[in-house]
Amino acid sequence: MSKSFSFFAILTLVVAVQLIQVEGVCTNVVANCVDKEVHCPQVCQDFGKGAKPISTNCDFYNLCTCSYEHPVTGQFGVNQCSIGMGLCTSDCRNDCCDKRCTSKYPKSGVGFCVQDYGLDYCSCTYRRP
């Protein structure tokens, strides 16, 4: 085998493995970062019940969002993922929110407006294998 073919084969394998890892990411919106008692990394650790968070952030409207390698059973015993898809407005309610969600997660996504953490935001719930 030529060296260039071997290099290409290894590069393809590395890229494929990285894409598989990205597909495995599950997010959950779990708390409001504005609350002074909320330490997002600790909240994500507690929410994950033993699953190690791979990242935490408060970038989506100051909401603590946790990313895990796989779905975790959350506080309500539900094994699903959720992500914020923007704010709900008078022009964008449940139908609009659902379209945002299903465009990103066509196989399992369901979007609906949620009034929680002091916001009216589009919550996209989806399942990861």
Q: Read off the pLDDT of residues 99-121 as tens digits, 9 standing for 90 and up.
A: 999 999 999 999 999 999 899 99
Question: In sequence order, which residues have a C-beta less than 8 Å from that of residue 87 and are 6 or more positions away?
Answer: 61, 119, 120, 121, 122
Here the tokens at position 88 are: 């709900």
- Residue holding tokens 């970062």? 33
In which band, very low, low, confident or very high, does the pLDDT at 76 lie, cut at 50, 70 and 90? low
The more confident residue out of 78 and 16 is 78
Which domain range does residue 41 map to? 25-126
**Domain presence at residue 37:** yes
**Domain presence at residue 1:** no
Q: How big is the CA angle at 97 (ends 95 and 103), to the nearest 5 degrees? A: 100
Give the pLDDT confidence score for residue 14 in this predicted structure.
39
The predicted model scores a pTM of 0.73
The chain-wide mean pLDDT, for the chain, equals 82
Sign of CA dihedral 32, 34, 35, 37: positive
Give the pLDDT confidence score for residue 74 in this predicted structure.
60
**Domain presence at residue 2:** no
From the CB of residue 90, how many other CB atoms can be counted at a distance below 10 Å?
5
- Number of domains the chain is built from: 1
Here the tokens at position 95 are: 């139908």
Beta bridge partners of 29: 65
**Domain presence at residue 92:** yes
**Domain presence at residue 64:** yes
